[in-house]
Amino acid sequence: MDGKYNFTILKSTQFFINTTCLNPIFLSSSREKKRRRIEDLTEKMAVDGGHRDSGCDWDGRWNHVRKFLERPGPFTHPDFEPSTESLQFLLETCKILVIGAGGLGCELLKNLALSGFRLIHVVDMDTIDVSNLNRQFLFRPKDVGRPKAEVAADFINSRIPGCKVVPHFKKIQDFDESFYRQFHIIVCGLDSIIARRWMNGMLISLLSYEDGVLDPSSIIPLIDGGTEGFKGNARVILPGMTACIDCTLELYPPQINFPMCTIASMPRLPEHCIEYARILQWPKEKPFGDTSLDGDNPEHIQWVFDRAQERAAEFNITGVTYRLTQGVVKRIIPAVASTNAVIAAACATEVFKIATSAYIPLNNYLVFNDVDGLYTYTFEAERKENCSACSQVPQDLQFPPSAKLQEVLEYLTENASLQMKSPAITTTLEGKNKTLYLQSVKSIEERTRPNLCKTLKELGLSDGQELAVADVTTPQTVLFKLNFTA
């Protein structure tokens, strides 16, 4: 179909719409037609009743998808040959994993299921909160408190005949390689960078190399969507081939934390006052005993709000509200339903393109921003030669022997391309495994804490020493080589 033809159709549709609006007789007959069509469809769906066999494919059900797969076109992949096999692959074989059943996840599941994907698994560790209901449209008030993955799967399965969504009310870290290996494509709709990086690391760990050459059959494409208010991005990652999440880590700004000195002594913003109450007053005054601050507990928020107001009054700062208090404590970024819809649509389209090989996939990073006007942009994010996740190049650590272990720890967490969260550092000394520092287990943290003040030399480390670093951002240990500088 060329552009001209397309245009004619558009014009006539417009005309048709105008006529319908103006002509009441036509309107009622078209309404009648629509009613009959809905009845007809409902009957077909009722007959199938969500039955999980392919017998529910009524005539013309997949016509919208067939148009893309069973005829040639100017925008198809150069190697594309129209056939009926692609659709059969989608319907019967292609297995998709959706990570996250929240704002993006609901959109993704709906889009994928309506595009013909039927074997879908969804992983989400969250339960439904009442505040989700404005945009996470697979959930209803009666579902509040239930696992998102389960409710989303039930909804899709009962609404879209033949679709078999399998829910997992779990963390992504609860599954091992064998679970992830079963999927053709993985789509992420996550709000956590740590989880994204972990998933990225998992797919990289599944790659197999023979004589240094990547086996393409070990690649599981990762489609990643992310939104934050009016901004979003969608990207296609072919692990081991194109830029991975960690290759472009510099693109994720570190979480904004106010400097402690500002909070403690020179507050200027209402946020500083709230942080003062949250970080300094709460642990000191222990208003509810030993319970830690719970952002979902109204009494806790009220307490922080009251203290923050007192502090604000002291420094003549205005703007401390209950809502802002909750926002700061829970680190809430407002979610915009339409941003989720745009990004999920882009992601689902990429899944479709890759699964069918009918179109050239996004190469490889799409930016969307409608904060002010509407702006989109696509660029090719490049692989980082020494990416700590996907490069297979040992990571260098350059420090003088007089540097303290604390400095190494700070480097691992603060370096823009590493951004680790709570790295655990181990090494081999005199043939024995030695933990230099580990944060996550209290007793080990206490035992290894004195090491932080020791120099690398005092710890017995030598030039060229290998340090193994484990962190929540990756399922695999990252190896670093210590290079002593003068």
Q: Interface residues with Zn ion (CB under 5 A)? A: 244, 246-247, 387, 389-390
Task: Name, in order, each residue with C-beta under 8 angstroms of 345's C-beta and a sequence gap of 6 or more.
Answer: 107, 111
Closest CA to 169 of 189, 147, 188: 147
Nearer to Zn ion, 128 or 389 (CB): 389
Nearer to Zn ion, 300 or 384 (CB): 384
What is the closest distance, in whole angstroms, from the C-beta atom of residue 419 to Zn ion in the complex? Answer: 13
Structure tokens at 64: 């919208």
The C-alpha atoms of residue 156 and residue 37 are separated, in whole angstroms, by 22
Report which residue type is found at 2: D
**How many C-beta neighbours within 10 Å does residue 482 have?**
20
What is the closest distance, in whole angstroms, from the C-beta atom of residue 203 to Zn ion in the complex? Answer: 11
Nearer to Zn ion, 417 or 455 (CB): 417
Structure tokens at 71: 């005829």
The C-alpha atoms of residue 300 and residue 403 are separated, in whole angstroms, by 42
Nearer to Zn ion, 44 or 383 (CB): 383
378 — alpha (psi -120 to 50), left (phi > 0) or beta?
Answer: beta
Closest CA to 172 of 245, 246, 99, 96: 99
Identify whether the C-beta of residue 484 lies closer than 8 Å to the C-beta of residue 455.
no
Identify whether the C-beta of residue 162 lies closer than 8 Å to the C-beta of residue 53.
yes
What is the closest distance, in whole angstroms, from the C-beta atom of residue 234 to Zn ion in the complex? Answer: 18
Nearer to Zn ion, 390 or 405 (CB): 390
Residue 352 φ then ψ, to 5°: -60, -45
What three-state secondary structure class fits 188?
strand
Report which residue type is found at 431: G
Nearer to Zn ion, 312 or 389 (CB): 389
**How many C-beta neighbours within 10 Å does residue 329 have?**
23
295 burial via Cβ count (<10 Å: 0-12, 13-18, 19+): middle
Nearer to Zn ion, 200 or 325 (CB): 200
Task: Name, in order, each residue with C-beta under 8 angstroms of 10's C-beta and a sequence gap of 6 or more.
Answer: none
With CB atoms as reference, the residue minimizing the distance to Zn ion is 387
Structure tokens at 246: 């960690």
The C-alpha atoms of residue 368 and residue 370 are separated, in whole angstroms, by 7
213 burial via Cβ count (<10 Å: 0-12, 13-18, 19+): exposed
**How many C-beta neighbours within 10 Å does residue 184 have?**
17
Give catalytic residue positions.
261
Nearer to Zn ion, 246 or 471 (CB): 246
Identify whether the C-beta of residue 451 lies closer than 8 Å to the C-beta of residue 426.
no
Report which residue type is found at 337: A
The C-alpha atoms of residue 330 and residue 425 are separated, in whole angstroms, by 30
